[in-house]
Every structure is written in C-alpha cells, then in structure tokens.
Amino acid sequence: MTKEVLTNDSEPEVDANTIVSTDAIDQNEAQNTETNSTASEEAAEKPKAKRTSRKTAETAAVVLEEQTEQEGEEVTAATEEESTGEEKDKSKNKKQSKKMKEKDKKQLAEKKEKLKKKKAAAKKKEKAKDLKKEKAKKAKLKAKAKKKDKAKKAKDKAKAKKIAKKKAKRSKAKKNSKKK
C-alpha cells in the first residue's frame, strides 16, 4: 500500500500519489518514531569528531564490528542456553512420560497376573467342589446299594424262613398223619 523511498537512513519518505489507509499511516508514524529514536541514540553515543585519519576510522569501525559480534554472540549464547534448557525440559518430559508408560505397563501386567491367579484359584476351587460333589454322589450311591443289598438279604432270609416253616409244617403234618 505504501511506497517508501529512502533518501536518508533516518527518515523514510512516502509517495504522495498512493492512497494510504489509517492503519498504514499509524504504522508509518510508529516506524518514523522508532527510526528517529535510534538515530538520536546513535548520535548521542558517537560524539562528532573532527577530521580523523583513516586508520583511526578503520579501527573505530573494527571496534564497532567486534562489539556487534560480541552482542550477537551473547544473543546466540542466550538463545543456545534457552534452547538447551528447552531441550533438557523436553528430554526430562520424555523421560518422565517414558517412566509413566513403563509404570503403566508394569501395573497392567500386575493386574493381568493377579487376574490370572484369581482365575486359576477359582478354577481350582471349582475343581475341588466338583470332586467333593462327585465323592458325595459316589458315597450316596454306595450307601444306597448297601441298603438295597441289606434289604434283599433280609427279604431272602425272611423267604427262606417262610419256606423252612412251611417245610417244617409239612413234615410235622406227615408225621402226624403217619401216627394216625
């Protein structure tokens, strides 16, 4: 929207032919104030020197470059420290999440093992119960068979007694009939 033609490092000029919105004007004003403040700071830092030799000018330029490099190095060192700090935090977070995952896995494995043990114990109990029932059933059947056998023996004994009685009666009747 705006065209800037730089004639001076400190003040940008705006082309009058273009239509400028209020937002763009606000931005330009903000930029102008920033550039003016930086220019005045630079002027305050560097006192105007009268003619200086080339060597002193070059050494001053070298000193400025060194200062800017040192500032850049400080900034990069600070950013590196921040990045290493962030990397440490990330690695810590990764380690913690890894530990949590391992902990969860262990807990899950323990739960599964407990569940297996419970199922095995329940199966064992069920088997024992079934065996007990089976034994009880066999014992009942055995008792029933014994009772039946006893009853049969008693019946047979009674039958034999009856038969013996009848035989005795017949033989007595025969004796009596022979005597007469």
What pLDDT does 29 receive? 73
Entry field: residues in the chain = 180
0.75 surpassed by pTM: no
What is the predicted pLDDT for the residue at 84? 73
pLDDT at 3: 54
Q: What is the mean pLDDT of each run of 10 residues along the chain (180 residues)?
A: 53 50 68 60 54 64 75 69 75 87 93 95 96 96 96 96 92 78
Q: Is residue 21 helix, strand or coil?
A: coil
pLDDT of residue 2: 56
Contacting residues for 107 by C-beta, under 8 A, at least 6 apart:
none
* Whole-number pLDDT of residue 136: 96
The span from the first CA to the last CA of the chain, in angstroms, equals 164
